[in-house]
Amino acid sequence: MRNPPLRRHQRFAARFARAERGAVAVEVSLTLVLFLGLIFALFELAMVLLASTSLETAVQVAGRQIRTGEFQQGASNSKTDFKNLVCANMGWLSSQCAADAYVDVRTYASFSDLAGGAPQPGSSFSPAKTCFAAGNPTDIVLVRAYFKWRLFTPLLDHGLENMPGTGMRLMSSATAFRNEPYSDQPALGAKC
């Protein structure tokens, strides 16, 4: 007598539930997916922090040339020249810098006025809103640089992305100082 089809399916399901062959492979594959996701997330965060630190260093080094007047008194003293100076100090990101970096240099009448000069948020960033005024001796200067970083880890890009819909993170770095009295020119005051 033949077993009814329902009984055969029940026996197959029971046998499948008791089977242990390949269980380790399934467990390893599930764990491996989570582990690789964690490794890629750590790598992405490390790259973002490294790029941010590189930008910070480049802004500090380039800003020093404005502070001492070396940049203003040189033959190359335009916004593009300053951007090239920042990019030259970005080391491993210098090739990407030309397309993805933007500089914004402004002078202020007092240090308290700097508080009103908030950086542009990534969601509404516009290179057209940047300015360039390196100032004269004793001017108060705010040097800010922006850098677009392309995110590459799936799912993590939504947490780090601050330029909606682009898969990019806008990083910014700033330094503020009073220019040294490198010549007898009067201060410009607030500009830009």
Q: Indicate if the pLDDT at residue 52 is higher than 90.
A: yes
The percent of residues above 90 in pLDDT, for the chain, comes to 56
Residues 182 and 192: their CA atoms lie apart, in Å, by 22
Count of all residues that appear for the chain in the document: 192
Helix (H, G, I), strand (E, B) or coil at 180: coil
Q: Which of 125, 114, 120 is nearest to 190 (CA)?
A: 114
Largest CA distance in the chain: 112
User: pLDDT tens for residues 141-159?
Assistant: 999 999 999 998 877 777 8
DSSP state of 146: E
Mean pLDDT in residue range 32-45: 91
Mean pLDDT in residue range 154-181: 89
Q: Which residues contact 78 (CB under 8 A, 6 or more apart)?
A: 132
Domain that holds residue 49: 5-178
Specify if 171 maps to a domain.
Answer: yes
Helix (H, G, I), strand (E, B) or coil at 163: strand
Torsion of CA 51, 56, 62, 65, to 10 degrees: -160
Overall domain count for the chain = 1
Per the DSSP assignment, residues forming a β-bridge with 108 are 140
Helix (H, G, I), strand (E, B) or coil at 77: coil
Computed over every residue of the chain, the mean pLDDT equals 89
pLDDT for 3 equals 57
User: pLDDT tens for residues 99-118?
Assistant: 999 999 999 988 888 887 78
pLDDT for 156 equals 75
Q: Which of 81, 41, 54 is nearest to 147 (CA)?
A: 54
* Residue 3 or residue 103, greater confidence: 103
Q: How far is CA 11 from CA 7, 14, 22, 53, in A?
A: 6, 5, 20, 62
Helix (H, G, I), strand (E, B) or coil at 136: coil
Confidence of residue 1 (pLDDT cuts 50, 70, 90): low
The model carries a pTM of 0.81
Q: Which of 94, 147, 138 is nearest to 119 (CA)?
A: 147
pLDDT for 72 equals 93
